[in-house]
Amino acid sequence: MKPSPDLLSPENHALVLIDFEGQMAFATKSISINELRTNVAIISGASKIFNVPTIVTTVMEELFAGPVFPEIETFYPQASSNYIDRTSMNTWEDEPAYRAITATGKKKIVLAGLWTSVCIVGPALSALSEGYDVFVIADACGDVSEEAHERAMQRMIHAGVKPITSVQYILELQRDWARTETYVPVTDLMKKYGAGYGIGIQYAHKMVKH
């Protein structure tokens, strides 16, 4: 009856959101911006609901890349201590970011961001080399082309990174609908951002009066 230790739980990981900024989004072609923003909202909301340690890191926000997606700011206002601005492309090589991530004490690290081939590959491979269990939310990442995104994902998977999706992430954290303390926040989040799945939840709630 014990769940696999390979599963994510609210207590066993940290989430790192990397460079979800306008300058990076303008050139992202591997996924539509609408879909990307929706998926970012799902994972940001999920981490907030389940109190997952979350680091939001930007690259030269004031001088180059601009502010983070509003979907992140909805759950993590920019004035909060969750934010770290960098100059390095590899988050793992930035000392304040590295300290913030490792200070969570979590041996599982979940990454999402722009671009997959640079800003995700760097910290993913670096964290793996230090013994961390690394997950990448593939549909909450994007790159300048489908080729760039897919080759980056293949490279990371080959090295040992575990790919997941945004809906998989939130449902793996909820895992049991009898967890009533998060049931309403999770279903409300999915009704807002969960596309067809969210409409299905709305339908079920209305039709069964639940």
| pLDDT tens, residue by residue, 152-169 | 999 999 999 999 999 999
Q: What is the pLDDT of residue 178?
A: 93
Measure the CA dihedral 157/163/14/7, to 10°.
-110
Q: Which two tokens stand for residue 166?
A: 């945004």
Residue 204 pLDDT level (bands cut at 50, 70, 90): confident
Report whether 207 contacts 44 (CB < 8 A). no
CA angle 10, 16, 22 (to 5 degrees): 135
pLDDT exceeds cutoff 80 at 116: yes
For residue 69, give every residue at least 6 positions away whose Cβ sits within 8 Å of its Cβ, in sequence order, or none: 20, 21, 25, 37, 40
Model confidence pLDDT, tens digit, residues 9-20? 999 999 999 999
Q: Which two tokens stand for residue 140?
A: 């909450």
Domains in the chain, ordered, with CATH? 13-174 (3.40.50.850)
Q: pTM score, two decimals?
A: 0.94
Distance CA 134, CA 132 (A): 6
Q: What is the pLDDT of residue 209?
A: 67
What is the arrangement of strands in the sheet containing 133-137, beginning at the earlier edge strand? Answer: 83-86, 54-59, 13-18, 108-113, 133-137, 162-164
Distance CA 115, CA 141 (A): 7
Q: Is 119 a catalytic residue?
A: yes
Average pLDDT over residues 67-88: 90
Q: How far apart are the first and last CA of the chain?
A: 28
Q: Which of 31, 65, 119, 127 is catalytic?
A: 119
